[in-house]
Amino acid sequence: MKTSFQDLISSETPTVIDFFATWCGPCRMVTPILEDLKADMGEQVRVYKIDVDQNPGLAAQYNVRSVPTLMIFKNGKLQWRQAGVQSKATLKNVIASIQ
């Protein structure tokens, strides 16, 4: 079953979306940060990676101009967005503030 982007972001659980590209060095730095975040927070957060080269329409819809761009959604609404590598502590603080 293919899940739509709207389905991914409509959860009551804060959902981190990582817009990335396979050729992007800083994007590779984000992956272990997000894995640590998910390991620490478990069911309190959902994490998805979106390859901008595979999903150019979605990247354009959300005005992704540089990668990595991280966004956090809750109940289908964008709560936070930031381009560039973010620390796990920053992401945890943002998630805590929107729960």
52-65 residue pLDDT tens: 999 999 999 999 99
- Beta-strand pair 69-74/77-83: antiparallel
Q: Which residue out of 16, 21, 27, 72 is catalytically annotated?
A: 27
* CA-wise closest residue to 17 among 62, 50, 60, 59: 50
Q: Which CATH number belongs to the domain containing residue 34 in this structure?
A: 3.40.30.10
Q: Which residue out of 8, 24, 83, 85 is catalytically annotated?
A: 24
Please tell me whether residue 97 adopts helix, strand or coil conformation.
helix
pTM, 2 dp: 0.94
Q: Which residues form the domain of 57? A: 5-98
**39 has catalytic annotation:** no
Contacts of 32 (CB under 8 A, 6+ apart): none
Q: How many domains does the chain have?
A: 1
Assigned token pair, 73: 């959604």
pLDDT per residue as tens digits for the range 20-56: 999 999 999 999 999 999 999 999 999 999 999 999 9
**27 has catalytic annotation:** yes
- Beta-strand pair 69-74/46-51: unpaired
